[in-house]
């Protein structure tokens, strides 16, 4: 199945984990080539009325400062979609019940696998960006 179709299914699992309060962290990893942008992370942010996430761009050279933004989940999904295959080939969702991995192979097909959870509780992010 094309990776775009599988990614939609993956994003539904992300939404569900947030709604259930099980979402611990999401990481985009495994880049094509060794680029300055090393990872993209999403963590939940505490808000009572609307769900926000902290989106963090982590860069390889230590001199480059990481960039953090608070976004709605839909805004964060748009950013994640922009970086699929350009440059990231995998996205890992960590929940308190299971870890879910989305991968894109060389032929452009997507797959989802599940493993035992890495995180056993949710720690909400604090946005230190000014």
pLDDT in tens, 81-127: 999 998 899 999 999 999 999 999 999 999 999 999 998 877 766 65
Q: How many domains does the chain have?
A: 1
- For residue 84, the tally of other CB atoms under 10 A from its CB is 18
Model pTM? Answer: 0.86
128 lies in a domain?
Answer: no
95 lies in a domain?
Answer: yes
Give pLDDT, residue 47.
62
List all residues 6 or more positions away from 103 whose beta carbon is below 8 Å from its beta carbon.
30, 89, 90, 110, 111, 112, 113
21 lies in a domain?
Answer: yes
Give pLDDT, residue 3.
94
Q: Mean of the pLDDT values across residues 14-20?
A: 92
Domain, as residue range, for 25: 3-115
50 lies in a domain?
Answer: yes
124 lies in a domain?
Answer: no
74 lies in a domain?
Answer: yes
Between β-strands 67-72 and 37-45, what pairing exists: parallel, antiparallel or unpaired? unpaired
Residue 70 forms beta bridges with which residues?
A: 54
d(CA 85, CA 73) in angstroms, rounded, equals: 20
Element (H, E) at 75: helix 73-83
22 lies in a domain?
Answer: yes
20 lies in a domain?
Answer: yes
pLDDT in tens, 42-96: 999 876 667 789 999 998 877 888 999 999 999 999 999 999 998 899 999 999 9
d(CA 97, CA 120) in angstroms, rounded, equals: 7
């Amino acid at each position: 199945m094309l990776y775009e179709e599988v990614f939609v299914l993956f994003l539904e699992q992300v939404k569900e984990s947030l709604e259930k309060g099980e979402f611990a962290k999401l990481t985009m990893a495994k880049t094509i080539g060794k680029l300055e942008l090393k990872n993209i992370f999403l963590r939940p942010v505490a808000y009572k009325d609307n769900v926000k996430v902290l989106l963090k761009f982590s860069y390889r050279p230590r001199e480059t400062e990481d960039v953090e933004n608070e976004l709605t989940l839909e805004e964060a999904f748009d950013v994640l979609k922009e970086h699929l295959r350009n440059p990231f080939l995998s996205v890992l969702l960590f929940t308190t019940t299971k870890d879910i991995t989305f991968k894109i192979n060389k032929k452009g097909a997507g797959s989802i696998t599940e493993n035992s959870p890495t995180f056993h509780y949710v720690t909400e992010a604090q946005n230190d960006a000014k």
